[in-house]
Amino acid sequence: MKVAKLYKFNDIRIEEISIPQIGKRDALVKVKVCGICSGDVMPWYIEKKAPLVLGHEISGEIIKIGDEVKEEINLKEGDRVSVHHHAPCMECFYCQRGDHVQCETWRHSKIFPGGIAEYILLPEVILKNDTLKLPDNVSFEEGAMVEPVACVVKSLKRANIKKGDTILIIGLGVMGQIHVMLAKEFGAGKVIGADMVDFRLKKALEAGADFVVDVSKENILEKFKEYTKGVMANSVIVGPGDVKVIKDSLNLVSKGGTLLIFTPTPPDQILSLSVNDIYFNDITITTSYSCGPDDTKKALEFISNGKINFNILITHRFKIEETAKAYDITAKAQNSIKCIINF
């Protein structure tokens, strides 16, 4: 079978390897669609894992289920599914608290060999704990978006949104657009987007933003003070993984508000801030890393109920042989939102 393997940031090769041989408690899935994740185009993050088969936003069809696990799951061969690349044990201290991404099983579980492959092996824990059957009204392309939508679901749950709040979303790539689409489902009253790419700003307005700021032309602090009459944003969700952007974004948070860091920064970047200002303004700083089974279920519900506009999100479609091109377009972050690989 064919796979797309990354050796360095600009070195992606299409190779042939054997179709995985599953064990008695595994499953084999024929991949139908895999998305290119914005996290996969952060050089510092992806190159430390190289060489690797790219991709983890997956939908496909179950081809084979191991004999020993068939009777223990609500899935069968031939089912159309969305697959999460990690799954928790559902039993440990962290799982009992709902902190699934801190579960050691979650962190060490994985699909094999990676999502941009014609077939993948699902180990038992992923098959049982975070593989979802797609409803008839959800396409394979939509099913491949369950994981990124779930990451946004978790983010919006952690953003401390109260009914009627003003929300600012900085960075309007695919994850920013999904935040725009779902923020009002979590109680937001006004949703504002900020970016420096005109294409993405226009898409955000189509996605439901009430107002957008072009940070390449406008002073976001002045513009936001004017728009909110000095109150600022109750929740600020920062997409770019850069400490300068994160620090500057603190000035946009209202008193009693929340700053949510959605993307990691390179390990050598250090955030410095005035604890005095944070303390007396009662500002919460929080993070949102990946997602768990409760988030993927809610994401699939939003998708099935038509809350996500895929005509806005999916801008480019490629075959596996064109993975390097899809990767390059995603990395440039210009006139694109989501690139996907169709099999």
Average pLDDT rounded to a whole number, residues 323-327: 97
- Cβ contacts of 239 within 8 Å, gap of 6 or more: 169, 170, 171, 172, 173, 175, 176, 262, 263
Class of domain 160-287: alpha beta
**pLDDT over 90 (residue 276):** yes
pLDDT (tens digit, 9 = 90+) per residue, 122-169?
999 999 999 999 999 999 999 999 999 999 999 999 999 999 999 999
70 SS3 class = helix
In the chain, % of residues over pLDDT 70: 100
Q: What is the mean pLDDT of residues 187-200?
A: 98
pLDDT classification of 20: cutoffs 50, 70, 90: very high
Model confidence band, residue 285 (pLDDT cutoffs 50, 70, 90): very high
Mean pLDDT over 268-295 rounds to 97
What are the pLDDT digits (tens) for 58-77?
999 999 999 999 999 999 99
Domain definitions of the chain by residue range = 2-150+291-342, 160-287
15: left (phi > 0), else alpha (psi -120 to 50), else beta?
A: beta
Q: Are 323 and 343 in contact (CB under 8 A)?
A: no
Rounded distance, CA 57 to CA 152, Å? 14
**In CATH, which of 3.90.180.10, 3.90.1150.10, 3.30.70.260, 3.40.50.300 is domain 2-150+291-342?**
3.90.180.10
pLDDT tens per residue, range 29-61: 999 999 999 888 999 899 989 999 999 999 999
pLDDT value for 39:
87
**Mean of pLDDT over the chain:** 97
pLDDT, position 30: 98
pLDDT in tens, 81-94: 999 999 999 999 99
Q: List, in sequence order, the alpha helices (H) in the chain.
A: 43-46, 93-96, 104-108, 124-129, 140-143, 146-158, 174-182, 198-207, 220-228, 243-249, 275-280, 293-304, 310-313, 323-332
- Give CA 286 to chain center in angstroms: 17
Tell me, what's the pLDDT at 102?
Answer: 98
Q: How confident is the model at residue 14 (pLDDT cuts 50, 70, 90)?
A: very high
